[in-house]
Amino acid sequence: MSRNARINVLLLIAVAALAVLPLVLGLGDHKEEPFAGADAEAETAITEIEPDYEPWFSPLYEPPSGEVESALFALQAALGAGVLAYYFGLRRGRRQGEERALAASGATAAPADTPGGD
Amino acid sequence: MHIAEGFLPPAHAIAWGVASAPFVVHGVRSLTREVREHPESTLLLGASGAFTFVLSALKLPSVTGSCSHPTGTGLGAILFRPPIMAVLGTITLLFQALLLAHGGLTTLGANVFSMAIAGPWAGYGVYRLLRGWDVPLMVTVFFGAFVADLSTYCVTSVQLALAFPDPGSGFLGALGKFGSIFAVTQVPLAVSEGLLTVIVMRLLVQSSKGELTRLGVLLTRSGERKQEAVAR
């Protein structure tokens, strides 16, 4: 593995560790519902501050279950990851193509460059 | 994690919508100009939007025992400047509000303001500041993305505290409450986002030198780099 790739892998491991450590250390154990969404907690805080507050608008479409919701979140991540992968794949292919074309033109141009004919 | 549908009183919802609209309109103009003048940047624009899509779909556990997600807005703000990121962020927020019941249409203005305007500008500001001090590129990228992420959730906390001041301790009391929910949770996630943005930027430096030089991310100061840019 090149030095570059090694650094990227180390960075990825650090990201994974940051996500896993709170789970391993049981940092959610003191909560009734560990690792709930921060937005749900904010909703609770709002009703604590203003017990009478009623949301005055509800979502036009709500995923019917947690499963459907997670599917849609996965779809969102997959769409993004797909476009990113397409970008980097295309770049890599183009670069390789350019290098090959350069090598090929270099090979044919080399004899013409040598002085001698005129 | 955005403010949920219907959870801002109408006056606040409208005010944030009015505050955000000019930024988004200006962003759409910048975006169309960029695409018209540099059609080749469309791909990288798509990639920046895609990065926001991926990161804002990743709900990660944090030290506070709750979950939140990064924003992914630092990358686009650094590459294409914040106005364009305002558009890409708004698209992501619309997707989540319409299909995922995450965030909402009535709170879209407030959420756009925090994630697509305030965050990108704060991150971009820090990035430019550090660049001016000759800090290495990847360090500036890390802190740019870190600040874009964290400031988004600080703004969210302020927005909620303004709408729901604590009956006893007032605005500051509510700010402490919402800040401990959003901002503290976000600190490790902002570090993750910084690291992920650095990875993508490293890949971009390898694959898209010409593009990054044109956008001013890679400098052509040293002669060696200049030659390289010319050769491309």
- Using a pLDDT cut of 90, give the percent of chain B over it: 79
DSSP B103: S
Residue B224 has pLDDT above 50, yes or no: no
Q: Quick one: pLDDT at residue B192?
A: 95
Contacts of B7 in chain A (CB under 8 A): 42-43, 46, 53, 55
Question: What local confidence, expressed as pLDDT, does residue A109 receive?
Answer: 63
Which of A21-30, B10-19, B141-150, B219-228 is least confident? B219-228
CA-nearest residue to B107 within chain A is: A57
Cα gap B88→B70, rounded to integer Å: 15
Q: Is residue B3 assigned to a domain? A: no
Q: Which residues contact B162 (CB under 8 A, 6 or more apart)?
A: B12, B171
DSSP per position, B21-49 = HHHHHHHHHHHHHHHHH-GGGHHHHHHHH
Return the minimum-mean-pLDDT range out of A48-52, B8-12, B18-22, B222-226.
B222-226
Residue of B nearest to A47 (CA): B164
Please give the residue range of the domain that contains residue A25.
Answer: 1-57
Three-state DSSP state, B59? coil
Residue A118 falls inside a structural domain: no
* Distance from C-alpha of B39 to C-alpha of B34, rounded to nearest angstrom: 7
d(CA B89, CA B108): 11
Structural domains counted in chain A: 2
Distances (CA, A) of B135 to B68, B127, B143: 30, 9, 11
Return the pLDDT at A32: 80
Per-residue pLDDT of chain A (118 residues; tens, 9 = 90+): 788 899 999 999 999 999 999 998 888 888 888 888 888 888 888 988 888 888 888 888 888 888 898 999 999 999 999 999 999 999 999 989 989 999 998 877 655 555 544 5
**Closest to B212 measured CA to CA, from B146, B159, B141:** B141
Q: List chain B residues with CB under 8 Å of A89.
A: none
Query: What is the least distance, in Å, from the CA of A32 to any CA of chain B?
Result: 10
Q: Three-state SS for B68?
A: strand
Interface test with B, best of A9, A33, A87, A88 (most B CBs within 10 A): A87
Interface touch A38/B4, C-beta < 8 Å: no
Alpha-carbon gap, residue B21 to B113, rounded angstroms: 9
Report the pLDDT averaged over residues B128-139. 94
A21 and A48 belong to one structural domain: yes
Residue B120 in contact with residue B148, Cβ under 8 Å?
A: yes
Residue B192 lies in a domain: yes
Among A35, A57, A79, identify where a domain stops: A57
AA identity, residue A12: L
Per-residue confidence (pLDDT) for residue A111, from 0 to 100? 57
Looking at per-residue pLDDT, the higher value among A110 and B61 belongs to: B61
Residue A84, pLDDT score = 96
Predicted confidence at residue B221, as pLDDT, reads: 58
Nearest residue to A73 via CA among B8, B167, B92, B143: B92
Q: Give the other-Cβ count within 10 Å of B155's Cβ.
A: 21
Where residue B229 falls among pLDDT bands split at 50, 70, 90? very low
The structure tokens 């000019």 sit at B22
pLDDT in tens, B16-58: 999 999 999 999 999 999 999 999 999 999 999 999 999 999 9
What is the count of residue pairs from A and B with beta carbons less than 8 Å apart?
180
**DSSP 3-state of A54:** coil
A33, two tokens: 């519902």
Mean pLDDT of all residues in B62-69:
91
Check pLDDT > 50 for residue B70.
yes
pLDDT value for B225 = 47
Looking at beta carbons, which residues of chain B come within 8 Å of A38?
1, 64, 66-68, 181-182, 185-186
ipTM for the whole predicted complex goes beyond 0.90: no
Is B108 contained in some domain? yes
Helices (H) and strands (E) in chain B, counts: 10, 2
List the single range of B43-52, B77-86, B109-118, B162-171 with lowest mean pLDDT.
Answer: B162-171
Measured N-to-C along each axis, helices B119-132 and B73-80 cross at an angle, to the nearest 10 degrees, of 60
pLDDT of residue A85: 96
| Full domain range(s) for residue B61 | 10-231
We report the CATH number of the domain holding residue B138 as: 1.10.1760.20
SS3 content of chain B, % helix, strand, coil (to 5): 75, 5, 20
Q: Which residues pair with B170 in a beta bridge?
A: B166
| Domain termination site, one of A18, A37, A57 | A57
Contact A45, B173 (CB under 8 A): no
pLDDT at B110: 96
Contact at CB, B101 and A49, closer than 8 angstroms: no
User: What span, in angstroms and rounded, lies between the C-alpha atoms of B57 and B90?
Assistant: 14
Query: In this complex, which of A46, A83, A88 lies closest to B207 when CB atoms are compared?
Result: A88
Q: Looking at residue B223, what is its pLDDT?
A: 44
- A94 and A49 inside one domain: no
Q: How many domains does chain B have?
A: 1
Q: ∠ CA B43-B48-B50 to the nearest 5 degrees?
A: 90
Please give the share of chain B, as a percent, with pLDDT higher than 70: 94
Residue A90 lies in a domain: yes
Distance in angstroms (rounded) separating the CA atoms of residues B14 and A95: 49
What pLDDT is recorded for position B227?
45
Instruction: Identify from B5, B55, B67 which residue to disrupt to test chain A contact, counting A C-beta atoms within 10 A and taking the largest count.
Output: B67
Partner B contacted by A93 (CB < 8 A): no
Mean pLDDT of chain B: 91
- A chain contacts of residue B43, beta-carbon cutoff 8 Å: 87, 90
| B67/A37 Cβ within 8 A | yes
